[in-house]
């Protein structure tokens, strides 16, 4: 088996890798600092489409993590990039928050509930029955169904919350139409992110805490993959999957010296 090229750029998931329930994971600040000092291209990724990169920059800064806006890549940005490539200047009916609506406004999309080209489902803490009903009727009327990410649940201090993938399943059941998911594990999110920082998959690594999204997306995008054990996946979970990460480490702290 051919030896991989040295890692020149890094992509890392946010929740479960750098932070956990609003608290930075030990080593995260040092890892980001080392990346910035090295000058290597890097991105912090999240499948959560609620927040804009500027929002996330501010939230991370409050936790002591200094990540520039241009180094944050969300499923909302990946979705907007996909739609811009597919149908420039299109229209969409959006269920989601500022992260998604801002990303679509930035590519010149018009948000409307009148015969939109797409129904775009993103993350929100307040899914409304009225909005879901409208989305179902628009999809039945011919709108194409796009979803930011397939995560079925999301974390909270009280326990798991239903997330975009679960709500997408409801819409699919009502319409018979499955969505196109733009976020992880779709390698599209990784490739558009790599393009945004001028990096190549052969010399890039992906760090994540989930086998089914982070590791799978990195693997399918052709990157080296590191699984950290500070999030969702436990050591016992790994052998349940038909694929493996390049390396398993306890936490992001174990990768500081790799930069």
> Any catalytic annotation for residue 117?
no
Burial 160-172 (b: 16+ CB within 10 A, else e): eeebbbbbbbebb
Q: How far is CA 96 from the centre of its chain?
A: 15
Alpha helices by DSSP H, 63-186: 75-86, 98-106, 129-140, 164-175
Q: Catalytic pick from 13, 117, 212, 214? A: 13
- Whether the Cβ atoms of residue 71 and residue 23 lie closer than 8 Å to each other: no
The rounded distance, in Å, linking the Cα atoms of 33 and 69 is 15
Least Cα distance to 97 among 164, 144, 172 occurs for 164
**Would you call 257 a catalytic residue per the annotation?**
no
Taking the C-alpha atoms of residue 105 and residue 224, their distance in angstroms, rounded to an integer, is 34
Greatest C-alpha distance within the chain: 54
Candidate list 15, 151, 209, 214, residue with the active-site label: 15
Catalytic residue annotation = 13, 15
């Amino acid at each position: 088996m051919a030896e991989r090229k040295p890692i020149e750029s890094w992509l890392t998931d946010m929740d479960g890798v750098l932070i956990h329930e609003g608290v930075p994971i030990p080593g995260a600040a040092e890892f980001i600092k080392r990346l910035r000092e090295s000058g290597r291209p890097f991105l912090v990724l999240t499948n959560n489409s609620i927040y804009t990169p500027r929002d996330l920059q501010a939230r991370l800064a409050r936790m002591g993590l200094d990540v520039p806006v241009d180094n944050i890549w969300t499923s909302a940005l990946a979705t907007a990039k996909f739609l811009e490539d597919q149908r420039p200047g299109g229209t969409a009916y959006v269920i989601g928050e500022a992260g998604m609506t801002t990303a679509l406004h930035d590519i010149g999309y018009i948000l409307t509930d009148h015969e939109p080209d797409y129904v775009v489902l993103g993350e929100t803490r307040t899914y409304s029955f009225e909005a879901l009903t409208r989305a179902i009727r628009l999809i039945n009327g011919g709108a194409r169904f796009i979803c930011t990410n397939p995560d079925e649940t999301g974390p909270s201090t009280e326990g798991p919350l239903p997330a975009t993938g679960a709500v997408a399943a409801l819409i699919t059941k009502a319409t018979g139409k499955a969505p196109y998911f733009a976020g992880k594990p779709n390698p599209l999110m990784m490739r558009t992110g790599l393009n945004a920082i001028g990096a190549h998959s052969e010399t890039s690594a992906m760090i994540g805490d989930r086998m089914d999204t982070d590791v799978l997306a990195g693997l399918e995008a052709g990157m080296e993959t590191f699984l950290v054990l500070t999030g969702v996946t436990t050591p016992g979970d790994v052998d349940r999957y038909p694929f493996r990460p390049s390396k398993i480490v306890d936490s992001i702290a174990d990768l500081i010296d790799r930069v």
